[in-house]
Amino acid sequence: MTDQPTPIWLDCDTGHDDAFAILVAACHPQVELLGISTTYVNASLAKTTYNTRAILKAIGREKVPVYAGAAKPFCREASHAPDIHGESGLDGTTCLPIPDVPVRTDKTAVDAMYDALISTPKGSAWVVPCGASTNAALLFATHPDLVNHIGGVSIMGGAIGDDFTDAPMGTVKGQGERFGNITPYAEFNIYIDPESAKSMLSNNTLAGKTTLIALDLTHRFLATPEIQKRMLHGHEPAPNGSQPSRVRKLFLEITTFFAKTYADVFGITIGPPVHDVLAVVAAFAPTVFIDHDGEKFEVSVVTEGPHGMPSAAGRSQCGRTIATPALPAFEGVRIPRDLDADQVWRMIDQCLGIAERQEG
């Protein structure tokens, strides 16, 4: 981490794990959150935009500008994940407040992203897509000059497989073990708009600035029962008789709902992976993550083959991310294999502490 906060533009589809990404991006002292654009993956655009505003209200950060972005993929139909995130995209909590600040409409999401990012010092700002890559891909296609201006891109998406890590990837009834979470081969954020993901990961200059936070890593970051207990009370023992804050209750309820759906759908019973926050942390604290001797990868995205929710039970490889060691002529994408999970949980606890002080 540097002495100066890292400017970040967060692009998300606010569901349960996105809430943690917003918490850290908005509250960690080493981050300057420039704004948030929303997209459609975990639920419809209207629902994820509302959820984003509600989480910002809950953590006392409603001044962060929110812009509604793409409502569907570049050239495919939108699909959502009610089996994991519920119909609202953020089911399972009674503590979510009604937001006061409306979504911004003075410009498009892409224009807002560009204006905020280009105003930062060259090489300092990061774009962090935690849902589909639709908004981010349109940003760089519309404003190619931004590629050389930003410091980096941190994408939560993809699944490598082939024992890239030893993380528990889960099983689906009737399908057995898999490394994807929407098909046996594909991760949902990439699968839902593979063309947009491909356009970013195939850009040599942009790829050299990109960190890919794949399921192979996020499944090493599980909110176990012990973590959930600390989430409610903090890392330090609470004074006798003290009651948990509303914001801590909110994040615990979010996590317990997520834990149940992951157990029901994927058979992971030790706690759910909290994917999206890792993409935020990778932007401002890259040393938290571990790879092998600075390895970099060329990442291709499969765009051919049957696509759509009914194909999830089939063997289509559409949306698969295939990583091969980068050749010297290709700068390559960073794909971490491990992390200091306790350090990230402590960051989350620090941010919860900052948020709960806003309640007082």
Residues known to be catalytic? 275
Helix axes 225-233, 341-357, angle to 10 degrees: 30
Q: What 8-state DSSP symbol labels residue 10? A: E
Q: Quickly tell me which residue has 């929710």 as its tokens.
A: 309
Q: Which two structure tokens, joined as six digits, stand for 276?
A: 């999206």
The span from the CA of 274 to the CA of 259, in Å, is 10
Cα angle vertex 50, ends 49, 52, to 5°? 65
The span from the CA of 162 to the CA of 341, in Å, is 23
The span from the CA of 286 to the CA of 343, in Å, is 12
The span from the CA of 225 to the CA of 222, in Å, is 9
Closest CA to 99 of 44, 157, 155, 46: 46
The span from the CA of 232 to the CA of 248, in Å, is 5
> Do residues 254 and 301 make contact, with C-beta atoms less than 8 angstroms apart?
no
Closest CA to 172 of 263, 89, 290: 263
The span from the CA of 297 to the CA of 335, in Å, is 7
